[in-house]
Amino acid sequence: MSKVRVNCFALSLDGFGAGPHQSAEHPLGQGGTALHEWFYPTRTFWNMFGMEGGATGPDDDLAARGTENVGAWILGRNMFGPIRGPWPDEAWKGWWGDNPPYHTDVFVLTHHARNPVRMQGGTVFHFVTEGIRAALERAKAAAKGADVRIGGGVATIRQYLQAGLVDEMHLVVSPVLLGAGEALLAGIDLPALGFRQVDYTPTPKAAHYFLARKK
């Protein structure tokens, strides 16, 4: 059965999933790249971007689990790029170059319509203006029975959590303090939403928590 998942989503020790003052120069906010120091060296990260090599080990094993059985992705507009308001043109095609790491249909939440963007490697960006449920319906259809991964950012995951639409989460707590930014779980009662911790794996670079929602 298809699931809606959050995987490999990194948080600081003080609960922020992105740093403050996000911009084209700081797409993850100031200090935000430090959240992902566990991920950048892994073989999974290198392979996603068409590179050979990368480190193996527990962090890589857990990152690789996040890529299994994913048939479609959903992203917030900020995850796609720094442009705000109406699209000035269709030149911007994401942060990732000609061959993004998704290799599936990706549904981008936005208030401003835009034509789909077909990229190398099978990634197709679709722009959804009808809200989170419409995006999920389209993503599930595109996934054809595989899972849908909610890639972020923080505001997008919060919307899906608050709507009771997320089945599983893999949260990665990095040993970093940001002090400010976007807090993922502020004001969200996970037990009331039916979540419980089902697994936990500490590594030298991070702590991996797995949560699932009771049906």
- What CATH number corresponds to the domain at position 125? 3.40.430.10
Three-state DSSP class for 8?
strand
pLDDT band with cut points at 50, 70 and 90 for residue 180: very high
Question: CA 191 to CA 187: how far, in whole Å?
Answer: 12
* pTM for this prediction: 0.95
- Pairing of β 182-183 and β 16-18: antiparallel
Establish if 90 belongs to a structural domain: no
Establish if 139 belongs to a structural domain: yes
Establish if 154 belongs to a structural domain: yes
One-letter identity of residue 22: Q
Helices (H), the chain: 43-48, 58-65, 77-80, 132-143, 154-162
pLDDT band with cut points at 50, 70 and 90 for residue 195: very high
**In whole angstroms, how far apart are CA 17 and each of 32, 47, 75, 126?**
8, 24, 14, 24
- Is 80 exceeded by the pLDDT of residue 119? yes
Establish if 48 belongs to a structural domain: yes
Question: CA 154 to CA 11: how far, in whole Å?
Answer: 10
What is the mean predicted confidence (pLDDT) over 110-131? Answer: 96
7-16, 84-93, 142-151, 191-200: range with lowest mean pLDDT: 84-93
Q: What is the pLDDT of residue 24?
A: 80
Three-state DSSP class for 191?
coil
Establish if 138 belongs to a structural domain: yes
Its domain, for residue 107, covers 4-18+28-85+99-213
Tokens of 130: 């009808």
Question: CA 5 to CA 73: how far, in whole Å?
Answer: 9
Tokens of 59: 């962090």
Tokens of 163: 């709507």
- Is 90 exceeded by the pLDDT of residue 83? no
pLDDT band with cut points at 50, 70 and 90 for residue 49: confident
What is the mean predicted confidence (pLDDT) over 8-36? Answer: 92
Average pLDDT, the chain: 95
pLDDT band with cut points at 50, 70 and 90 for residue 82: confident
Residues 73, 104 contacting (CB under 8 angstroms): yes
- Pairing of β 124-128 and β 117-118: antiparallel
- Is 90 exceeded by the pLDDT of residue 31? yes
**In whole angstroms, how far apart are CA 32 and each of 28, 29, 58, 96, 102?**
5, 5, 22, 17, 21
- Is 90 exceeded by the pLDDT of residue 118? yes
- Is 80 exceeded by the pLDDT of residue 215? no
Establish if 76 belongs to a structural domain: yes
pLDDT band with cut points at 50, 70 and 90 for residue 50: confident
- Is 80 exceeded by the pLDDT of residue 157? yes
Which candidate, 189, 206, 209, 190, places its Cα nearest to that of 198? Answer: 209
Query: What domain count does the chain have?
Result: 1
One-letter identity of residue 207: A
Establish if 94 belongs to a structural domain: no
37-41, 60-64, 93-97: range with lowest mean pLDDT: 93-97
Cis before 17 (ω within 30)? no
**In whole angstroms, how far apart are CA 178 and each of 43, 119, 174?**
27, 34, 11
